[in-house]
Amino acid sequence: LLLTAVLILRPLFEYFRDSRNLRRLPNASPISGITNLWFVFQAYKGQRYFALMEKHHNHPHGPRPVLRIAPNHVSFTDPQAIKDIHGHGTVMEKGVHYDLVCGTHRHLADVVDRSEHQRKRKVMAAAFAQSNIETYEHVLAKKMGHFLAQMDKLCAVRPKTGSRPPPEAPTMDYRRWAILYTQEAISALGFSEDLGFLEKGDDLTTAERADGTLYQARYRDAIEGGMHKAMVLIAFPEWYKALVAWACLLLPSFRNYKKRSQGFTDICRHITRKRIRRQANGEQLSDIFTALLHSRNGQPNNYPFGELFAEANVILNAGSDSTGIAMTNTIYSLIENPRALAILREELDEALGSTDVVAPYGKIKYCAYLRAVLDESMRMYAPSQFSLPRKTPPEGASIAGHWIAGDTQVTTPTHAIHMDPSIWGDPETFRPERWLGEEGKLLQRHFLVFTTGPRGCIGRNVTYLEQYVMLASFVKRYEFCLEDESFTPTRYETAATLIDKLPLKIWRR
Ligand code: HEM
């Protein structure tokens, strides 16, 4: 009886009471006004971004720019909603999800309080400014050198023009190597830590428990375990902690996610403690972590260890997988679109000299087509299609002309907006040209991959630098094709939309 009351009668009562006046909005599914189950089911399948896009654009009664996707959650694709929800001057705050997944100390991405966020963002801003990031180029160039040395070893013998290497030629998983590069890049830029992954061809690394005992864990496995763990149950915010506890008790898969995600926390702890020890031993290091320790003129920030550890966690997390995913999707897009690849090659051959192996950033930073390829690929396959929920203030707010009651979750679904025919015309077509010229500049306001406004991605300059150097160096040096021409990548949405693998044959041009 209690279960019936909690699971059925109360939601029905709330639905008809309609204290938030949300019944007037169209539903994503017939049950969306009553329960989160539709939403949870889509999250469980790892296809929520896709389902949401379908509901917004292919609704039986025509496109729906606003949809109720759960009893207390509304999704908007209207461009005005991007401004209202994320833009500078927004009255929205980060939603309840961020409270549920935070640790003992908040980091820049999960802090909700506005003034706390401003304080943290100010501290980090200098480290992430473009002028500062470009000074790190030599660090990335070294990593890219290691990456290319490994690629050279994995090359097939160059086949005749127009043909493919034979099946017995070596195969490389671009996804695996791309993330080894981004993991190494961010730990070097962020913490002056040389993980040596590219040279080893492996991401096994040291993790450290709170009591100081050490063990070995795999970086990617650990990071992705955490993303899986949070994804499905978070749709029930009021029961999240209890559900996680029960799921860990009853479901072996969940216990496994939990164990893996603990591995990531312990990797971050090891890197943070090591970096602090090096500072205490008098080493003069210049990296992103320096900005957390003191200001440019040497004023200490006096962050407690818990806060330094939390910030390290977000830098190592946000700074590695998303760029690896973006790079993998870009190579796949270019394989699927040989015309775009040919134009990009022409641009790079002109910009780079025959002796350039690692592409110098100075020579490629004005390559407009290179940038257009990256943006077009991230438009179609945003690394983070998770819709970054926000919460209306207690007094409510107007979003794209709809009055939404206080404490309601609101969302701008990235994939649905990136695939909106009324914005892009031909959203299913990979067409980098759309980003060129004045028209391309105007499209940036619909490009949500890093979101916008005060909570937009602080690492955007870092990822572009990494992506420019990696894509230009790879495309300039190698020809590539899918190992199996019929291969399509498997994508699974967690906090990021993970891509499983991308097996390629590559050979020197
Ligand atoms: C392709 C790569 C990347 C993508 C697609 C991406 C995407 C995003 C998105 C969508 C947000 C907003 C998150 C939210 O509202 O909850 C965000 C925030 C953030 N990103 Fe990135 N990111 C990327 C690379 C990076 C890198 C390389 C770093 C660090 C080196 C980084 C650090 C952060 C941080 C610290 C925040 C929180 C900012 C704040 O709330 O003030 N990201 N990113």
- State residue 467's pLDDT score: 98
Token pair 């003191």 is at which residue?
294
Q: Which atom of ligand 1 is nearest to the CA of 124?
A: 35
Question: Is there a contact between 460 and 345 (Cβ–Cβ < 8 Å)?
Answer: no
Residue 38: CB atoms within 10 A of its CB come to 21
Q: Which atom of ligand 1 is nearest to the CA of 462?
A: 27
Q: Which domain holds residue 140?
A: 122-368+451-508
Could you tell me if the CB of 463 is within 6 A of ligand 1? yes
Could you tell me if the CB of 109 is within 6 A of ligand 1? yes
Q: Is residue 173 part of a domain?
A: yes
Q: How far is the CA of 224 from the centre of ligand 1 (A)?
A: 16
Q: How far, in Å, are 77, 123, 152, 231 from residue 449 at the CA level?
A: 14, 24, 32, 19
Question: Is there a contact between 277 and 228 (Cβ–Cβ < 8 Å)?
Answer: no
Going from the first residue of the chain to its last (509 residues), give the mean pLDDT of each consecutive group of 10, the final group possibly shorter.
82 94 96 91 90 92 93 95 95 84 86 94 90 89 97 96 93 97 96 96 96 96 81 76 86 84 92 96 93 90 94 93 96 98 98 96 97 98 85 96 96 96 96 96 95 94 97 98 95 90 97
Q: Exposed/middle/buried for 62, CB within 10 Å: 0-12, 13-18, 19+?
A: exposed
- State residue 154's pLDDT score: 97
User: Quick one: tokens of 44?
Assistant: 């469980």
Could you tell me if the CB of 411 is within 6 A of ligand 1? no
Q: Is residue 156 part of a domain?
A: yes
- State residue 364's pLDDT score: 97
Q: Which atom of ligand 1 is nearest to the CA of 463?
A: 27
* CATH code of the domain containing 138: 1.10.630.10
Distance between CA atoms of residues 109 and 450, nearest Å:
12
Q: How far is the CA of 298 from the centre of ligand 1 (A)?
A: 27
Q: Is residue 84 part of a domain?
A: no
457, 460, 493, 497: residue to mutate for ligand 1 pocket, most atoms within 8 A of CB: 457
Burial 393-416 (b: 16+ CB within 10 A, else e): eeebbebbebebbebbbbbbbbbb
Q: How far is the CA of 323 from the centre of ligand 1 (A)?
A: 10
Q: Is residue 267 part of a domain?
A: yes
Q: Is residue 470 part of a domain?
A: yes
Distance between CA atoms of residues 313 and 293, nearest Å:
15
Token pair 């040395």 is at which residue?
149
- State residue 126's pLDDT score: 85
Question: Is there a contact between 205 and 216 (Cβ–Cβ < 8 Å)?
Answer: yes
Q: How far is the CA of 95 from the centre of ligand 1 (A)?
A: 16
Helix (H) or strand (E) holding 74: strand 73-76
What residue owns the CA closest to ligand 1's atom 31?
Answer: 459
Could you tell me if the CB of 326 is within 6 A of ligand 1? yes
| Residue 457 among known ligand-binding residues | yes
Q: Which atom of ligand 1 is nearest to the CA of 288?
A: 30
Q: Is residue 249 part of a domain?
A: yes
Could you tell me if the CB of 388 is within 6 A of ligand 1? yes
Q: Of 201, 200, 187, 181, nearest to 467 (Cα)?
A: 181
Token pair 């407009």 is at which residue?
368
Could you tell me if the CB of 121 is within 6 A of ligand 1? yes
Could you tell me if the CB of 449 is within 6 A of ligand 1? yes
Distance between CA atoms of residues 476 and 151, nearest Å:
13
Distance between CA atoms of residues 285 and 276, nearest Å:
11
- State residue 202's pLDDT score: 96
- State residue 456's pLDDT score: 95
Question: Is there a contact between 57 and 63 (Cβ–Cβ < 8 Å)?
Answer: yes
What residue owns the CA closest to ligand 1's atom 3?
Answer: 322
What residue owns the CA closest to ligand 1's atom 6?
Answer: 450
Q: Is residue 435 part of a domain?
A: no
Could you tell me if the CB of 123 is within 6 A of ligand 1? no
Could you tell me if the CB of 165 is within 6 A of ligand 1? no
Contacts of 297 (CB under 8 A, 6+ apart): none
- State residue 103's pLDDT score: 78
Could you tell me if the CB of 108 is within 6 A of ligand 1? yes
Could you tell me if the CB of 291 is within 6 A of ligand 1? no
Q: How far is the CA of 108 from the centre of ligand 1 (A)?
A: 10
User: Quick one: tokens of 278?
Assistant: 């090096």
Q: Is residue 358 part of a domain?
A: yes
Distance between CA atoms of residues 162 and 59, nearest Å:
44
Could you tell me if the CB of 35 is within 6 A of ligand 1? no
Could you tell me if the CB of 455 is within 6 A of ligand 1? yes
Q: Give the count of domains, the chain.
A: 1
What residue owns the CA closest to ligand 1's atom 42?
Answer: 459
- State residue 4's pLDDT score: 79
